[in-house]
Each structure stands twice: as C-alpha cells, then as structure tokens.
Amino acid sequence: MAAIHDQFDTILILDFGSQYSHLITRRCREHNVYAELMPCTTQLKDLNFKPKGIIMSGSPYSVYDKDSPHADPGIYELGVPILGICYGLQEMAWQMKGKVDKCDHREYGFAQVHMSKIGGDNASVDALFEGLGDEMQVWMSHGDQLSAPPPDFRVIGYTATAPYAALAHNSKPFYGIQFHPEVTHSPRGKEVIGRFILNICGCQAHWTMEEFIGKEIARIREICGPKGRVIGAVSGGVDSTVAAKLMHEAIGDRFHAIMVDNGVLRLNEGKQVNEMLNKDLGVNLIVVDASDLFLSRLEGVEDPEQKRKIIGNTFINVFEAEASKIEATAKEEEKKGAAAKGRVEWLLQGTLYPDVIESISFKGPSATIKTHHNVGGLLKDMKLKLIEPLRELFKDEVRALGRLLKIPAPLVQRHPFPGPGLAIRILGPVTREQVSILQQADSIYIEEIRKAGLYDQIAQAFAVLLPVKAVGVMGDSRTYEQVIALRAVQTEDFMTADWYVFPAEILRRISSRITNEVAGINRVTYDISSKPPATVEWL
Ligand SMILES: Nc1ncnc2c1ncn2[C@@H]1O[C@H](COP(=O)(O)OP(=O)(O)OP(=O)(O)O)[C@@H](O)[C@H]1O
Ligand SMILES: O=c1[nH]c(=O)c2[nH+]cn([C@@H]3O[C@H](COP(=O)(O)O)[C@@H](O)[C@H]3O)c2[nH]1
Ligand SMILES: NC(=O)CC[C@H](N)C(=O)O
Ligand SMILES: [Mg+2]
C-alpha cells in the first residue's frame, strides 16, 4: 500500500519540544511540500521512509544539560540536507564539536540579521538567504548561543549580539540558524524555509489538496478491497463531513454514516444534517435518536468531566449497537437471496493532524484541562480497524479539501461544535427544558451573526446557559429568570483565543431578541475573557 511518503516528497521535522514546532510543519506545507513532525528521539532505524530533508526545531532545553534530548547522530550520514533552528542549530553545533554556552544577554524579541558575503562585497549571500537582501528582521528566543562554531562551518549571518546567528557547512548541506523563521514575527522567515526545502533539498511542490484527493481515494479503495464496508460517526461538523464525503467518493454505498441525536444538539440539527448529507452530498446517513438514553444518564449530573465521560461512553454504546444492526440486516438480506455483502470491517475517524501532534510529544502528556470526548475509545472493545483519511491534515487543509469535494460553503465554514454539545454549555444539570431554552437563544444569536455578515470572521460563537437567576422587569412586573452568556472568539488554532469585538448595535439586537423571544431568560451578558486564562467552552 502506498504510504503518503511514497507519494509526496517529505520533510522530516524533529521536535525537540519547542512551542513553535508545529508552525515549521505549517510553513513547509504552505510551500506545498509535505512535512511531518516526529519526536526528536526518533531513531533512524525506526523510520520507514527517507526524508528529502530534515529540520530540527527549537527546545526549552539547553544542549549541555545532562538530560537534554539529542538527535540520532545517524542523520548526518543520511546524505540529506539538515537545517537546525535555534536549539536545532545548537544541537548540530554541539554534536559536531562546536561550543554552546549560556549567553550574557538572553535575546527575546526582534533582531536584525546581517547576511555575510563570503569573498567581498560583490559576492552573493548563501543559498539559504538567496534573494533576501543584505539584512532582515527576525525574531529570537534564546538564552544560549554558540561561542565557537564547529570545524568546517562558515558564518552566513550575524546579529549585533550573536556572531554565529547563521552557519553553513563548507561541503555538506548542513545549516543552522539562531532565529525562528517559522513565526510570523520573522517576516521573511517563510522564504528562508522555502529556500531550504525547495532549493537546497530540491523538494517538488506537490502537496496540494487536488493531488491529495486522487491519491487518498485510490489508497482508501486499496485498503477496503472490493467488498469491505466502513461505518463512521458523523456529526455534521466539518471534519466528519469531509471524511464522509471522501469515503463516499471512494467506496459509495459501502460507507455507512451514523449520526447520533444525543439530545444536546442545536435547534433542528439532526434534521438539517440528515438532509444535508443524504440529499446534498448523497452520503448514506442514518440518524439514531438516542436522546432519551443520553438525557436519562445525564440526569442530575453537574460535574463537567462527568458529563463528558457519560456522553463519550454512551456514544460508544449506541455506535456498537448500530454496527451490529447493520451486519444483522445484511445477513437477513442474504438469507432472502441478496448478494453477499462484505463485512463491516472498518471504522472511519475524522482525526486531524493537531490531534496527532498532541499525542507525539516526547515529554509525555501535558496537564489535562478537560477531556475532549473521544471516539477513539471505541477501539478497545471493537474489532473494527481504523481508517483516518484526514490524519495528516490541518483544519484549513480539511476545509480546502471540502471545497474541492464540492461540499457547500456554509458547511465547510461551519464553526466547530463539540461532541458533548449543549451539555457542556448548560452549567447546571441538563434537562429537556434547559436544552430547549439554550437551543432557542443559540439559534437567535447565530442567526443575527449571519445576518450581520460576521459569521466567517468569527472562529466560534455560541450561547451558554447559566444556572443562576436574576431579577428583571417586564411589562411592569417583576421577573426572576435565568441568564444567557454569549461567547464569540477569534483564534488560529483554538490553543489560544481572543474574544471578538462586536459592534454594539449587533449585541443590542441579539440581547433584545433573546430576552423578548426566549421564555425563561431576562438577562444577557457577553463573555470578554481570552484563552488563557479562560477556555473557549465554559465547561
Ligand atoms: N452527534 C454525533 N453523532 C455521531 N458522531 C459524532 C457526533 N458528535 C461528534 N461525533 C463524532 O466525534 C468526532 C469528533 O467531533 P468533533 O466535533 O471534534 O469533529 P466534527 O464534528 O467532525 O467537526 P467540528 O470540529 O467542525 O465540529 C466527529 O468527527 C464525529 O466522528
Ligand atoms: O469534539 C469536541 N469534544 C469535546 O469534548 C470538546 N471540548 C471542547 N471542544 C472544542 O475544542 C475547542 C477548544 O475548546 P476549549 O478551549 O474549551 O478546550 C473549541 O472549539 C471547543 O468547542 C470539544 N470538541
Ligand atoms: N528557542 C530555543 O530553541 C531555545 C534553545 C535554548 N533553550 C536556548 O535558550 O538558547
Ligand atoms: Mg463537532
């Protein structure tokens, strides 16, 4: 079976734990070159492909510390170009007998790199900086630096405080830079990465979603064989819809999509998703109404983690039952003389690259802030094998893929909606009444955002129902009712987020519609917390 590395030139990024490691991957992909992040402790013997080039990331460690991470020295014998960034440079220098020490002045922020010209003023700058002029602004974040370069390296860039800000080997394609080209604060950094992967490594810029679709469809067909069937949980969210459409293109009706109505979906969501997938996209979708089961298990539960756990587990139960039903129906049909159908062998998951990145850290998992409900839990009990066509993609790549698969724009641009749904937006116990109040308020909020043409400027917007009551006055009478909080955020990757600044007029209209139209609400507030210290969802 053709692996992704056989189909696309691949840059291997060794992650030494920098908070910017994934950005290096992104910058490569923006040049249409496939790049993959792996832990810095990856041993060459365990690598099942040969990269066209290697980039070593930054790191919170210092190379000279006793327990600092180091790359397999075999990489220097692979015969491919290597670029070290910050710690990556220090690591390369350290492994090749240069000297790295704590610097007198740690450098954090902007710096000006001067590109050295070897052989006088008329000589050209190094290939890594070709066409970038004599100097450029970059962003630095380091407390160590080289005090002596390793033998056989020349200086190709320096700053006022770092005499060895950029190095190149005299005869091999090894490079190191002290600054961070992957962050947007280095305005020409993306070009530096481009010089390395395109000119120095000679990668072909083939990584486009157009290329990916054809290759991935062929790969799915090969994996599933002529008869194998696949089931998949589909929510109407971007990831699962794109994955479902791709499966449908690959194997048609042998793919069965299942949407679970867990009783905490948004207003009319089950109906809408059903129509969209069945009618608009031609995908074979079953909507299973399990709302009674979910709501009965959630009864009286206030604890956020408890809610997530109950919903995650119940998803699994419902899903397993549906998988058996599909098999049983096929058996019945066969008894009546229908052609034998293949087994349901595969489970489709909409895993994205950020989920994969989070789980590859060599430092072990970070603190659990909240347990995102996880369909991956299915694995333990089910004999189904996993199929994850989006595993290598970032969200914006998934959206581009969706557009190419002719999934309607409003669906591709849809804000994410968490699996545990409104249960984590109702701050107290979940009841049908509370769900109904929140559904109405949320629907008005989103409708007004769309009317104002702001939906696509906001990464995620939703309403939250608070378990407190406040006093109000309506029609000269006293009211004592619940409070709705509105949330809207802008973010690149949902790891950090900022609250969205609405025009006051829009907030006024939303507030007035919610208090007028939703019985049980007499007050609306707007959440002005960023992440961190808050999170996007309230629970
Ligand atoms: N109501 C549901 N019915 C069936 N599967 C669901 C449901 N809600 C979530 N899932 C499954 O859980 C997975 C993870 O949910 P998640 O919200 O992260 O992704 P998504 O809904 O596909 O996309 P988005 O992030 O845009 O909402 C989905 O891809 C889907 O497989
Ligand atoms: O599928 C999901 N299952 C979950 O349990 C879950 N919890 C949070 N989210 C979504 O993740 C993003 C970041 O949210 P937080 O800042 O609240 O962690 C936001 O987009 C949230 O909506 C979830 N998605
Ligand atoms: N950003 C980095 O890679 C920093 C590397 C090393 N920890 C230093 O302080 O110099
Ligand atoms: Mg979702």
Least confident of 39-48, 272-281, 363-372: 363-372
Strand order in the sheet with 255-261: 285-289, 255-261, 229-233, 344-348, 385-387
How far apart are alpha carbons 89 and 82 in whole angstroms?
10
Query: Which residue, among 344, 232, 215, 213, has the nearest Cα to 277 in the 3D structure?
Result: 232
What was the pLDDT predicted at 365? 42
How far apart are alpha carbons 427 and 133 in whole angstroms?
56
Ligand 2 atom at minimum distance from 460 CA = 20
Pocket of ligand 1 (CB under 6 A): 233-235, 237-240, 259-260, 262, 350, 375, 414, 416-419
How large is the C-alpha radius of gyration of the chain?
Answer: 27
Could you tell me which residue, 375 or 421, shows the higher pLDDT?
A: 421
How far apart are alpha carbons 266 and 235 in whole angstroms?
11
Q: What is the rounded average pLDDT of the residues 102-120?
A: 83
How far apart are alpha carbons 307 and 295 in whole angstroms?
10
**Where do the DSSP E strands lie in 197-326?**
229-233, 255-261, 285-289
pLDDT of residue 426 exceeding 80, the answer is yes
Residues 6+ positions from 119 with CB-CB distance below 8 Å: none
Q: Which two tokens stand for residue 159?
A: 């700053």
How far apart are alpha carbons 134 and 130 in whole angstroms?
10
| Residues tagged in the binding site annotation for ATP | 235-241
Specify the residue for token string 């992967």: 197
Pocket test for ligand 3, best of 23, 62, 105 (most atoms within 8 A of CB): 62
How far apart are alpha carbons 55 and 35 in whole angstroms?
10
* Amino acid in position 530: S
Query: Which residue, among 390, 402, 509, has the nearest Cα to 450 in the 3D structure?
Result: 509
pLDDT in tens, 13-23: 999 988 888 88
Least confident of 187-201, 283-297, 338-352, 411-425: 338-352
Pocket test for ligand 3, best of 16, 90, 91 (most atoms within 8 A of CB): 90
Ligand 1 atom at minimum distance from 260 CA = 3
pLDDT of residue 2 exceeding 70, the answer is no
Q: Kindly report the backbone phi and psi dihedral angles of residue 154, in degrees, each rounded to the nearest multiple of 5, phi listed first.
A: -115, 155
* Amino acid in position 331: K
Query: Which residue, among 381, 405, 389, has the nearest Cα to 350 in the 3D structure?
Result: 389
What was the pLDDT predicted at 384? 78
pLDDT of residue 33 exceeding 50, the answer is yes
Residue 375 — pLDDT band, cuts 50, 70, 90? very low
Question: How many Cα neighbours within 13 Å face the side chain of 108?
Answer: 2
Ligand at minimal distance from the CA of 177 is 3
pLDDT in tens, 42-98: 999 999 999 999 999 999 999 999 989 999 999 999 999 999 999 999 999 999 999
Contact between residue 264 and residue 293 where contact means Cβ atoms under 8 Å apart: no
Residue nearest atom 12 of ligand 2, based on CA coordinates: 494
Other Cβ atoms closer than 10 A to 340: 10
Q: What is the rounded average pLDDT of the residues 491-519?
A: 94
Query: Which residue, among 224, 221, 229, 222, has the nearest Cα to 344 in the 3D structure?
Result: 229
pLDDT of residue 275 exceeding 60, the answer is yes
pLDDT > 90 in the chain, percent: 73
How far apart are alpha carbons 345 and 342 in whole angstroms?
8
Residue 363 — pLDDT band, cuts 50, 70, 90? low
pLDDT of residue 377 exceeding 50, the answer is no
DSSP state of 124: P
Cα dihedral sign, 115-119-120-124: negative
Residues 6+ positions from 312 with CB-CB distance below 8 Å: 371, 373, 374, 375, 377, 419, 420
Least confident of 22-36, 61-75, 105-119: 105-119
What was the pLDDT predicted at 323? 83
pLDDT of residue 336 exceeding 80, the answer is yes
Ligand 1 atom at minimum distance from 238 CA = 26
Could you tell me which residue, 342 or 112, shows the higher pLDDT?
A: 112
Q: What is the rounded average pLDDT of the residues 236-255?
A: 94
Ligand at minimal distance from the CA of 259 is 1
Residue 364 — pLDDT band, cuts 50, 70, 90? very low
Question: CA dist 454 to 30, 441, 503, Å?
Answer: 26, 18, 10
Q: Which two tokens stand for residue 247?
A: 């499966």
* Summary mean pLDDT of the chain: 91
What was the pLDDT predicted at 125? 83
Residue nearest atom 11 of ligand 1, based on CA coordinates: 233
CB distance 487 to ligand 3 below 6 Å: no
Contact between residue 13 and residue 57 where contact means Cβ atoms under 8 Å apart: yes
Which H or E element spans position 106?
strand 99-115
Strand order in the sheet with 99-115: 34-39, 10-15, 53-56, 82-85, 174-177, 166-169, 153-158, 99-115, 135-148
CB distance 58 to ligand 3 below 6 Å: yes
Specify the residue for token string 């129906």: 329
Could you tell me which residue, 161 or 440, shows the higher pLDDT?
A: 440
Least confident of 100-109, 163-172, 238-247, 263-272: 100-109
pLDDT in tens, 147-193: 999 999 999 999 998 999 999 999 999 999 999 999 888 999 999 99
What was the pLDDT predicted at 326? 87
pLDDT of residue 341 exceeding 90, the answer is no
Residue 367 — pLDDT band, cuts 50, 70, 90? low
Contact between residue 464 and residue 425 where contact means Cβ atoms under 8 Å apart: yes
Could you tell me which residue, 345 or 263, shows the higher pLDDT?
A: 263
pLDDT of residue 360 exceeding 70, the answer is no
Could you tell me which residue, 374 or 505, shows the higher pLDDT?
A: 505
Q: Which two tokens stand for residue 273?
A: 């998703």
Query: Which residue, among 536, 519, 507, has the nearest Cα to 449 in the 3D structure?
Result: 507
